[in-house]
Structure 1
Amino acid sequence: MRLVIARCTVDYAGRLTAHLPSAKRLLIVKSDGSVAVHSDDRAYKPLNWMSPPCALKEEDGRWTVENKAGEKLIITLEEVLLDAEHELGIDPGLIKDGVEAHLQELLADRMEVLGEGWSLIRREYMTAIGPVDILCRDGEGRTVAIEIKRRGEIDGVEQLTRYLELLNRDPLLAPVRGVFAAQQIKPQARVLATDRGIDCVVLDYDGLRGIEDDKLKLF
């Protein structure tokens, strides 16, 4: 990972245009090629960014980051205060709470709940950016990556999107489609997942454990 603190301006040219005037900012270049521009607020959210696959070209105090669609992020460096690189290595990934870990284990043992003929390839399938909860094949033999959450929110969809972008570069696995599975999925997360071609599945924790729901149901 490369960290640069610099006074700079930032211009984005693509489906729309955006401009950040001169100010001190943190620029992050990750090993996957992504570039993010951060200020000293907004928590984790960058002011602007370019997701991989993209290419960074540096010349005369000017960075041009371009993706396959021709969109460009142009960063003009006026003063560089820090420029450092650090090798972080492979991250072990987020340690899930007990419910999420148990959901993963239960679903891996009962792939048939997703459809006839579904089969497990492996749990915690490791990638360069972290482990995919479940990698499996559907009834037609297609590769599927499943991200499991207790509560499905937009961040989980973004996480699965990054895994899919990486997995689909592997010719032995591609094409890989995604399933976002959770006990509860927020409406915004469902809309984003649908827009990206990701299926959503609501998991019944008690059902996976084989416990019948004694509440009355309307049919």
Structure 2
Amino acid sequence: MRLVVARCQVDYVGRLTAHLPMANRVLMVKADGSVLVHSDGGSYKPLNWMSPPCWLIEDPDVWTVQNKAGEKLVITIDEVMHDLKHDLGVDPGLQKDGVEAHLQELLAEHIKTLGDGYTLVRREYPTAIGPVDIMARDADGGSVAVEIKRRGEIDGVEQLTRYLELLNRDPLLAPVQGVFAAQVIKPQARVLAEDRGIRCVVLDYDALRGTDSDEFRLF
């Protein structure tokens, strides 16, 4: 991991173009080759980034990050205030609790719970920022990324949003739809998800297991 604090300007040139004017920012270069640009605000989401496979060319005043598609992240550096490298070692990855892991397994087995014609691509679909719980295809063959939680809250929607932004950069997958699936979805999370075009699905754990709940039911 390399962290550089610098006054810089950032330009993204590719299918889309974006410009960040000169300001103090944190440049993060990861061992997997990804390069992320952060500010001191805006939560944890980078202002711009380039995902691997890509390569970094460093000149004294300009960093150029390019991928196989020819897209470029050009970082023009006015001043470097801090430059630190550190080996973080191998990360064991996020460990899901038993219920979430089992929900993922059950939904993969019964993928048509999401809709008629849905098919499973794979569980734990790898990306540069972590695995997507389930990748599937809908009845029309479109790509669908599914994030599964026991309790669906805003942070889960933000996580799925980051996956979708990354996956939609891949021309072989785009456009990728999002499904936020949980046993319970908080109202605020549902509003945020639907505002971003993400479909919410409430999962019945007992129904997926093929068993009935012991709780009394009115209907």
Query: So what's the TM-score if we normalise by structure 1?
Result: 0.69
Is contact 2:183-2:204 (8 Å) kept?
Answer: yes
Percent pairwise identity? 61
Q: Is the contact between residue 3 and residue 26 of structure 1 (CA under 8 Å) also seen in structure 2?
A: no
Q: Which runs of 5+ in 1 are unaligned?
A: 9-19, 64-73
Distance change (3 Å), C-alpha of 1:60 and 1:124:
closer
Q: Which residue of 2 aligns with 1:50?
A: 47
Contact 1:35 1:51 in 2 (8 A): yes
Q: Which residue of 2 aligns with 1:132?
A: 132
Segments of 5+ residues of structure 2 without an aligned counterpart are: 8-22, 52-57, 64-75
Contact 2:123–2:135 at 8 Å: present in 1 too?
yes
Deviations 1:72-129 (A, max 9, x none): xx9986x82x312346688664110111100000000001211111111110111111
Tell me if the contact between 2:25 and 2:37 (Cα under 8 Å) persists in the aligned partners. no
Q: Which residue of 1 aligns with 2:204?
A: 204
User: Which aligned pairs between 1:84-99 and structure 2 lie closer than 5 A?
Assistant: 84-86=84-86, 93-99=93-99
Aligned match of 2:73: none
Report what 1:36 is aligned to. Answer: 38
Distance 1:2 1:165, change over 3 A: same
Q: Kindly indicate whether the alpha-carbon contact (under 8 Å) linking 2:100 and 2:149 is maintained by their aligned counterparts in 1.
A: yes
Give the deviation of 1:201 after TM superposition.
0.7
Cα shift at 1:37:
3.4
Q: Look up the SS of the partner of 1:127 in the other structure.
A: coil
Matched, 1:181 2:147: no
Distance 1:143 1:49, change over 3 A: closer
CA distance 1:162–1:88, change in 2 (3 Å): farther
Question: Shift of the alpha carbon at 1:142?
Answer: 1.1
TM-score (structure 2 length as normaliser): 0.69
Specify whether residues 94 and 76 from structure 1 end up closer, same or farther in structure 2 by C-alpha distance, changes over 3 A only: same
Equivalent pairs counted in the alignment come to 194
Cα distance in 1, alignment partners of residues 182 and 5 from structure 2:
38
Q: For 1:1-219, what aligned pairs fall within 5 Å after superposition?
A: 1-4=1-4, 27-30=26-29, 32-38=34-40, 45=43, 50-52=47-49, 80=81, 82-86=82-86, 93-213=93-213, 214-218=215-219
Cα distance in structure 2, aligned partners of 1:198 and 1:92: 29
Moved more, 117-126 or 87-96: 87-96
In 2, distance between residues paired with 1:137 and 1:195? 22
Task: Give per-residue Cα distances to partners, 1:114-165, cap 9 Å, x unaligned.
Answer: 1111111110111111111000111221110101111111111111111112
Alpha carbons 1:153, 1:186 under 8 Å: kept? yes
Shift of 1:5: 5.4
1:91–1:129 contact (8 Å) kept in structure 2: no
1:217 is displaced (CA, Å) by 2.8
Change over 3 Å in CA distance of 1:154–1:28 after alignment to 2: farther
When residues 164 and 49 of structure 1 are mapped into structure 2, their CA distance, relative to the original with a 3 A threshold, is closer
For residues 90 and 133 of structure 1, do their structure 2 counterparts lie closer, same or farther at Cα, with a shift above 3 Å needed?
farther
